[in-house]
Amino acid sequence: MKIIVDRSACTGLGICESLAPNCFEVDDAGDLILLTETVSDEDLDGVRQAIEGCPTEALRLEP
pLDDT, residue 8, reads: 96
What is the pTM for the complete model shown?
A: 0.91
Provide the β-strand partners of residue 2.
38, 62
Q: Can you tell me the distance from the alpha carbon of 47 to that of 26, in angstroms, rounded to the nearest whole number?
A: 15
- State the CATH number of the domain containing residue 31: 3.30.70.20
Provide the β-strand partners of residue 25.
33
Residue 47: its H or E element? helix 44-53
Total domains, the chain: 1
Domain range holding 42?
2-62
Over the stretch 3-54, which tens digit does the pLDDT of each residue have?
A: 999 999 999 999 999 999 999 999 999 999 999 999 999 999 999 999 999 9
